[in-house]
Amino acid sequence: MCRFIAYHGDAIYLEDLIATPRHSLVKQSLCAEQARTVTQGDGFGIGWYGERDEPAVYREVMPAWSDENLLALAATVRSGLFFAHVRAATAGGIARQNCHPFRHGRWMFMHNGQIGGYAQLRRALEARLPDALYALRRGATDSELLFLLTLARIDDGVAPQDAVRRVFDETVALMQARGIEEPLRMAAALTDGRRLHAFRLSSDDAPPTLYRCRGRSGTVVASEPLHREGDEGDWVPMRHGETLSAGALDH
Amino acid sequence: MCRFIAYHGDAIYLEDLIATPRHSLVKQSLCAEQARTVTQGDGFGIGWYGERDEPAVYREVMPAWSDENLLALAATVRSGLFFAHVRAATAGGIARQNCHPFRHGRWMFMHNGQIGGYAQLRRALEARLPDALYALRRGATDSELLFLLTLARIDDGVAPQDAVRRVFDETVALMQARGIEEPLRMAAALTDGRRLHAFRLSSDDAPPTLYRCRGRSGTVVASEPLHREGDEGDWVPMRHGETLSAGALDH
Amino acid sequence: MCRFIAYHGDAIYLEDLIATPRHSLVKQSLCAEQARTVTQGDGFGIGWYGERDEPAVYREVMPAWSDENLLALAATVRSGLFFAHVRAATAGGIARQNCHPFRHGRWMFMHNGQIGGYAQLRRALEARLPDALYALRRGATDSELLFLLTLARIDDGVAPQDAVRRVFDETVALMQARGIEEPLRMAAALTDGRRLHAFRLSSDDAPPTLYRCRGRSGTVVASEPLHREGDEGDWVPMRHGETLSAGALDH
Amino acid sequence: MCRFIAYHGDAIYLEDLIATPRHSLVKQSLCAEQARTVTQGDGFGIGWYGERDEPAVYREVMPAWSDENLLALAATVRSGLFFAHVRAATAGGIARQNCHPFRHGRWMFMHNGQIGGYAQLRRALEARLPDALYALRRGATDSELLFLLTLARIDDGVAPQDAVRRVFDETVALMQARGIEEPLRMAAALTDGRRLHAFRLSSDDAPPTLYRCRGRSGTVVASEPLHREGDEGDWVPMRHGETLSAGALDH
């Protein structure tokens, strides 16, 4: 289990969500309140869009709470579209390649949750990747694999918000065909640098927590409410199965 | 605040204390029960004596719970005298140089606690170091400084167990002279590769926790009981002000 | 391209080969003389056998020359069978999971060289792995893959020294079938904790350098001669296609 | 010895100097041509000014050439004033705290060179720091110390370009008083976020190399010419003792 935030709106400093709020993502890395694991200390990552189509991604294996680089970056970089993620490793070991967000071209993805029976399914899922995406595989996580499978569907012409759901459905079908009884649970965020898509999905009735907040400057999606000083908007739990999409026209 | 263990006795695998027990040091790094901070994820270190007079020290800035090297080392290395420490940083930043145990020649030291008003005292304390030890300063922690001050007293001819206590008393006196009201609290362990000395000291009535256990294979000192399977000995809280010394003749 | 050493014989300190010689492995990491890249600074690893069947492996993404832990370990640990490797990354990115030696159970493997056209071949090679070994894949290197393919052949009953050669031949055949003209070059070492096997193989006439030296204490295999003070044995270049096997009975 | 670049002018992508040129700083980290050490692989750092008075600093102990975060940051961040530095450690060990640039408030500093006889001088130099700056000391390098001494002079009212030279003169005087015959050599850069000051100084006739280049977009100072594609300006060696100052009015 992990914790993450995604933002789309006017350009703000990354620290406004990552470090400053009372229950900021950095604080959640040390002490999450709604996750199955209290500590999310197995690496972290941030990704943001500047003036180019491709985002910058900074990923590190140290805990977010102890990384001075993260605080310095978050205090200087402003962006209108960014992701941040703190990791509690379930599969794949500690490595930057296993940290979120994952990036390919202008696409960025992050994930919280787990594919039930992943060790049994990994091979079958990787086999579904087209050659070009197979070659991009760097780590060993289920999350990177879900991202590559999503890119494959998008290459097929499926709309981004439908692609994630399609991968979810196909993976659940595969799990059922193999008799895997553990659930597939995922909170996820995907963006192409223009629109932000967030998802709360589960094959059982216990998807990971995910909240949305529509404030003055833009839309925030977060695993747990950030409790910002003078929070102008409400933190609304996303429904099981809900997809949120936010773009420049929405603000 | 940090957590640590020290062992002296027959050669055992490091994992027997670090990784295997139900409340092993690695588990304490993720979830301590008697520390002011739950998480001790700001680096760790182990140090042990092999066939030479000088110990090996392995220190790393990652959390102990996520370091595969630590588990591999602890499963292969056997020693009759070793230290292990997990850190929750209070001063000095995240760096290997700030991780315990500290080593100089055949000496090794580790510490849990804090010098009250350290930022004000650091300069005066460093000024007390003789030139040769001043030159060894690598990091910025109060712990490394307490170690160097102890070595200075030992060079003066003071017995090891008295040297730590002497440094404690001198530091408290300096704090009082400066009107510092915060306490000096320390649990510490010191060894020259032959005898193990452990200390539970505080200028107020709340020293960090420290327990001793005399088992079949040897003596363990630990910040928190390890609850080993079939623990043959009892975990006895050390008294406030107590010093323990264990050597080869004691077993 | 990388540099490595392997040792089998009487127990010696790891530093006797890794750090002390005039052209030690640590010095080769900063300035190799017979490699296509001068600097081997993309991580390193050591692995050694103690009293148990399984070896300890310590791998790190920093350069070998700047890692204080490595020097401390090498000065304290003695072993009669150990590997050490410094990496110049060709494929797979910088991560501990991509550092050598690779370990599985009591087996250990390291490699210097490259599979020509690896990006095109990776999928076909991974498809050859049986399920149990496929699930062990952690990184993205051709080296880890060659190790897993070798284990698969050993599981089939092939002798270790033949298994590496078999994997070499099969990979070359696959490359030819795909019209890949880049060569497969490999210097490699494999051990089960009892016998050491070393290989110098290439599909063209330019295999990576590999030397063997039979000294008083045991057998050393190294990418480049170490020029030890008072080197008692000669450094003999292994022939193209040569396999060396050394075990306890040989000393 | 280290290598560095500093830039002041119109906002450009950091990669335009750090990664893209034929002899970019990243390439110099692997293979410097005019340094006493070929490899500058003991960590690196970048610092830049955004919209706030204080710069962001990203420092890492890995080599610059293998850090994916660095490339991603340099491809996304644009700035009109930035520093970048690759380190070959001479004193102080491998740690982020020992990596350049050093920052305090809106000030940033980096350095290439060495204080002769530093181990003997360190104590006397640290004693000159006023309390507030003494408390900021985090690492063990001569470079961080030169920065803090410079800040002390600036606090005294000395102009920045004179402050560095004053510290240089005072340090040389101290070295002579102690009979130290090794030279003090330094190439350095200092900025307050508005003006860039660069220095090439030595107590003997062999200061570290330093070049300046006045191009269309702004002023570059670099340890070695970068040989950019279509380099519009000339790379002029700075004279021994020369100070360069560049500010917004100069462009």
Q: Indicate yes or no: CB of C138 within 8 angstroms of CB of A97.
A: no
d(CA D202, CA D114): 10
What pLDDT is attached to residue B144? Answer: 97
Nearest chain A residue to C119 by CA: give it. Answer: A135
d(CA A112, CA A211): 13
Which of C27, C28, C39 best tests the D interface by mutation, with the highest count of D CBs <10 A?
C39
Q: Tens of pLDDT along B118-160?
A: 999 999 999 999 999 999 999 999 999 999 999 999 999 999 9
Enumerate the residues of chain B whose CB falls inside 8 A of the CB of residue D123. 131, 134-135
What pLDDT is attached to residue B227? Answer: 87
For chain D, the 3-state helix, strand and coil shares in percent, each to the nearest 5, are 30, 30, 40
d(CA B57, CA B41): 18
| pLDDT tops 60 at residue D135 | yes
User: In sequence order, what are the residues at sequence separation of 6 or more whose Cβ sits closer than 8 angstroms to the Cβ of residue B132?
Assistant: none
- Asked whether A178 and A119 are in contact (CB, 8 A), the reply is no
- Output DSSP code: residue C110: E
CA proximity to A214, closest of A230, A191, A242, A233: A233
Dihedral angle over CA of B115, B117, B119, B121, nearest 10? -80
D220-241 average pLDDT score: 89
In whole angstroms, how far apart are CA A85 and each of A196, A224, B177, C88, C92?
A: 15, 12, 47, 30, 23
The distance of D223 to chain A (nearest Cα, Å) reads 25
Q: Indicate yes or no: CB of C73 within 8 angstroms of CB of B58.
A: yes
CA proximity to B166, closest of B141, B188, B181: B188
What pLDDT is attached to residue C90? Answer: 76
Dihedral angle over CA of D222, D224, D230, D232, nearest 10? 50
Give the residue numbers of B marked as catalytic: 2
Q: Tens of pLDDT along D31-46?
A: 898 888 889 999 999 9
What pLDDT is attached to residue A231? Answer: 67
Enumerate the residues of chain B whose CB falls inside 8 A of the CB of residue C58. 58, 69, 72-73
What pLDDT is attached to residue C38? Answer: 86
The distance of B244 to chain C (nearest Cα, Å) reads 27
Task: Quickly count: other Cβ atoms within 10 Å of residue D120's Cβ.
Answer: 17
The distance of C11 to chain B (nearest Cα, Å) reads 12
Q: Indicate yes or no: CB of A94 within 8 angstroms of CB of B66.
A: yes
The DSSP code sequence of A44-64 is EEEEE--SSSSPEEEEESS-G
The distance of C63 to chain B (nearest Cα, Å) reads 15
d(CA D74, CA A154): 29
- Asked whether D210 and D218 are in contact (CB, 8 A), the reply is no
Nearest CB partner across the interface for B61, out of A39, A62, A89: A62
d(CA A156, CA A133): 13
- Asked whether B233 and B214 are in contact (CB, 8 A), the reply is yes
Chain A residues with CB-CB distance to B under 8 A? 30-31, 38-39, 41-42, 61-63, 65-68, 89, 93-94
What pLDDT is attached to residue C249? Answer: 58
Q: Tens of pLDDT along C194-242?
A: 999 999 999 999 999 999 999 889 999 999 999 887 766 799 999 999 9
Q: Tens of pLDDT along B6-52?
A: 999 999 999 999 999 999 999 999 989 888 888 999 999 999 999 99
d(CA D127, CA B127): 9
If you average pLDDT over every residue of chain B, what do you get?
A: 94
Enclosing domain of residue C59: 3-250
**Cα within 13 Å of Cα(B90), Cβ side:** 19
Q: Indicate yes or no: CB of C75 within 8 angstroms of CB of B56.
A: yes
Does residue A213 fall inside a structural domain? yes
Q: Indicate yes or no: CB of C94 within 8 angstroms of CB of D67.
A: yes
Which of C69, C81, C104, C106 best tests the B interface by mutation, with the highest count of B CBs <10 A?
C69
Q: Tens of pLDDT along A192-201?
A: 999 999 999 9
What pLDDT is attached to residue D170? Answer: 97
- Asked whether C178 and C119 are in contact (CB, 8 A), the reply is no
Q: Indicate yes or no: CB of C138 within 8 angstroms of CB of A92.
A: yes
d(CA C85, CA C208): 14
- Asked whether D48 and D63 are in contact (CB, 8 A), the reply is no
User: In sequence order, what are the residues at sequence separation of 6 or more whose Cβ sits closer than 8 angstroms to the Cβ of residue D115?
Assistant: D121, D125, D142, D146, D171, D175, D184
CATH for C166: 3.60.20.10
- Asked whether B210 and B1 are in contact (CB, 8 A), the reply is no
CA proximity to B189, closest of B21, B42, B47, B41: B47
pLDDT band at C250 (very low <50, low <70, confident <90, very high): low
Which of D69, D79, D83, D106 best tests the A interface by mutation, with the highest count of A CBs <10 A?
D69
| Cβ-based contacts under 8 A for chains B and D | 42
Nearest CB partner across the interface for A66, out of B30, B68, B89: B89
CA proximity to C57, closest of B79, A89, B25, B71: B71
What pLDDT is attached to residue A35? Answer: 86
What pLDDT is attached to residue A1? Answer: 72
* Number of domains into which chain C is organized: 1
- Asked whether D224 and D209 are in contact (CB, 8 A), the reply is yes
What pLDDT is attached to residue B232? Answer: 65
D105-125 average pLDDT score: 95
* C75 CA to centre of own chain: 21
D199-227 average pLDDT score: 94
Those chains having 3 or more beta-carbon pairs within 8 angstroms of chain A are B, C, D
What is the share, in percent, of chain D residues with pLDDT greater than 70? 97
Q: Indicate yes or no: CB of A41 within 8 angstroms of CB of B89.
A: no
The distance of D65 to chain A (nearest Cα, Å) reads 16
What pLDDT is attached to residue A154? Answer: 98
d(CA C155, CA C130): 10
CA-atom Rg of chain C in angstroms: 17
What pLDDT is attached to residue A78? Answer: 96
Nearest CB partner across the interface for C97, out of A93, A127, A134: A93
Enumerate the residues of chain B whose CB falls inside 8 A of the CB of residue D115. none
Enumerate the residues of chain A whose CB falls inside 8 A of the CB of residue D108. none
pLDDT band at B215 (very low <50, low <70, confident <90, very high): confident
Q: In chain A, which stretches have pLDDT less than 50?
A: none
C135-161 average pLDDT score: 96
